[in-house]
Amino acid sequence: MIATIILALGTTFLSRSFFITLDSYNYCSRYLQVMSWADEKVWEAQENLSRLGAAASLDNAGSFTEKGRDFKWYLAYSPLDADGSLYKVDFEMSWQEGARKARIKRSTYARYEKKEE
């Protein structure tokens, strides 16, 4: 009887460890899938603000589906000085990963130099 209880507990702990490891692997796999896309989106916003300043037209939000998973992203930027030559860019992407909501956040700065003509 005691041996059965010990074996049942051991099996429960092993299967729980396996599922935690599998969940972590799935999270890391999805993170690596969208990390380069997120970096590209941040770089694109930074490049547009550096070239065009306040005249840059950027998408502020969107969503896409990859391998059956829905990803939502948000982009915000704001000038940090009065003449609009320095911008802060904030990017956030989220998706549902089991019972939790996974997120990627990126922040960067863009400097716009006005060209005198």
The confidence score (pLDDT) of residue 116 equals 67
Q: CA angle at residue 104 from 100 to 106, to 5 degrees?
A: 155
Span 6-45, pLDDT tens digits: 888 888 988 888 888 888 888 888 888 888 888 999 999 8
Whether the CB-CB separation of 88 and 109 falls below 8 Å is answered with: yes
User: Would you state the structure tokens that stand for residue 82, as one six-digit string?
Assistant: 């009065």
H and E: helices and strands count for the chain:
1, 4
Q: What's the CATH code, domain 36-111?
A: 3.30.1300
pLDDT tens per residue, range 103-113: 889 999 988 87
Domain limits, the chain: 36-111
Q: Which two tokens stand for residue 74?
A: 């948000």
Report which secondary-structure segment, H or E, holds 6: helix 2-52
Average pLDDT over residues 89-106: 88
